[in-house]
Amino acid sequence: MEQVLYPFAKYIAILARGKTKVRALTMEESEDAMGIILRGEAEREQIGAFLMLLRLKEEEPQEIAGFTLAARSVFNMPEKTPSVDVDWSSYAGKRIQLPWFLLSALALSQAGHRVFMHGSGGHTPGRVYTRETLQRLGLPIARRLSEAAEHIEQNNFCYTPLEILSPILRHLIELRPLLGLRSPVHSFSRMLNPFNAPTMMQGIFHRGFMDIHAGAAMLLGQERMAVFRGEGGEIERRPNKPTLVYSTFGHSEPVQEKWPVLVKDPRQAPDEEMNVAGLLDLWHARSTDEYATASVTGTLAIALKTMGEAHDIQSAQTLAEKIWVGRNASALPDQPLILAS
């Protein structure tokens, strides 16, 4: 009778059988389990137990892939979906350096490549998040996926908050303060790729998640994906350190490349102010900050190589620098906008 009343319970049981009997969920089990959650058919107590048991065990590639498939199946997609070149997730937020990667993505869109960015913010205090930053840069935020499609058609760029893709996933991410830990939702939300872009960019904070994301991309057959340990966990190259990038192509094993240091001084002090105006100073060439410029072009170079626009690291960096120099500065305001409270 319990199996009929609580079909989700079997998945909790798989994860809670003790050290000798516990196992990972299969890809099919993961897809079914997350589907139950996203359809509102699991009890909140079950969801909390499930997420924390996964966190304790640590998620595996087939689980992330299955969760991703379940989430993709519930999107309210517009009738006419645009062609998107790059899916760019932004879920971590920044606290040590400004989000220079935003300028990389905007320059990429100005070069004619369509970029769909999605993310969530506010779940960790003391961080600068993408949504508010883009608003202060004068860029619109999509309120539904049909509007996201319009933004992409008009500007080659769009940012859509997670709650537009899935209010339930946004709620689950917001459980972090309540549970005291991040959950697998933070991992697979980065892989949602609702517009099925052939190129997916991934930034992680903990080194072990490179294998998890690369493995999930292979299981999903993602055409091209790059994952690396980005500054603050975002898709942002740290130009003062060598950057190990895992690239996957469909179901093939990942290719590992070490991208070189781009700045002479390896030391970079934390930004105590985190003033968004710094992004506009760099965009309008009022600042010549070596670290910031290298971060922008270095991140852009990884994206270009992943997309197949460049065949090696050096040519990707050269192309990135050319795109950056040729950016249309008038596309962003001179000063950050003041948001209504």
Q: What is the pLDDT of residue 208?
A: 83
Same domain, 241 and 325: yes
Residue 10 placed within a domain: yes
Q: What is the pLDDT of residue 125?
A: 73
Q: What is the pLDDT of residue 211?
A: 95
Could you list the residue range(s) of the whole structural domain that residue 255 is in?
Answer: 86-331
Q: What is the pLDDT of residue 4?
A: 53
Same domain, 198 and 254: yes
Domain stop point among 36, 57, 78: 57
Domain count, the chain: 2
Same domain, 31 and 176: no
The enclosing domain of 161 has a CATH number of 3.40.1030.10
Q: What is the pLDDT of residue 265?
A: 87
Domain stop point among 38, 57, 76: 57
Same domain, 170 and 293: yes
Q: What is the pLDDT of residue 5?
A: 61
Residue 157 placed within a domain: yes
Q: How far apart are CA 239 and CA 298, in angstroms?
A: 7
- The structure's pTM equals 0.95
Three-class DSSP labels, 13-68: HHHCCCCCCCCCCCHHHHHHHHHHHHCCCCCHHHHHHHHHHHHHHCCCHHHHHHHH
Q: What is the pLDDT of residue 341?
A: 63
Residue 71 placed within a domain: no
Same domain, 237 and 324: yes
Q: How far apart are CA 129 and CA 225, in angstroms?
A: 23
Domain stop point among 17, 38, 57: 57
Q: Which of 207, 211, 213, 256 is nearest to 229 (CA)?
A: 207
The answer to whether residues 232 and 97 touch, using CB atoms and an 8 Å cutoff, is: yes
pLDDT in tens, 50-80: 999 999 999 999 999 999 999 999 999 998 9
Q: How far apart are CA 143 and CA 154, in angstroms?
A: 16
pLDDT tens track of the chain, all 341 residues?
Answer: 344 568 899 999 999 988 788 999 999 999 999 999 999 999 999 999 999 999 999 999 999 999 999 999 999 999 899 999 999 999 999 999 999 999 999 999 999 999 999 999 876 778 899 999 999 999 999 999 999 999 999 999 999 999 999 999 999 999 988 888 888 899 999 999 999 999 999 999 888 899 999 999 999 999 999 999 999 999 999 999 999 999 999 999 999 999 999 998 888 999 999 999 999 999 999 999 999 999 999 999 999 999 999 999 999 999 999 999 999 999 999 999 998 76
Tokens of 182: 């991040």
Q: What is the pLDDT of residue 177?
A: 84
pLDDT in tens, 80-130: 999 999 999 999 999 999 999 999 999 999 999 999 999 998 767 788 999
Q: How far apart are CA 202 and CA 194, in angstroms?
A: 15
Q: What is the pLDDT of residue 112?
A: 98
Same domain, 171 and 224: yes
Chain mean position to CA 146? 21
Q: What is the pLDDT of residue 337?
A: 96
The answer to whether residues 175 and 51 touch, using CB atoms and an 8 Å cutoff, is: yes
Same domain, 31 and 110: no
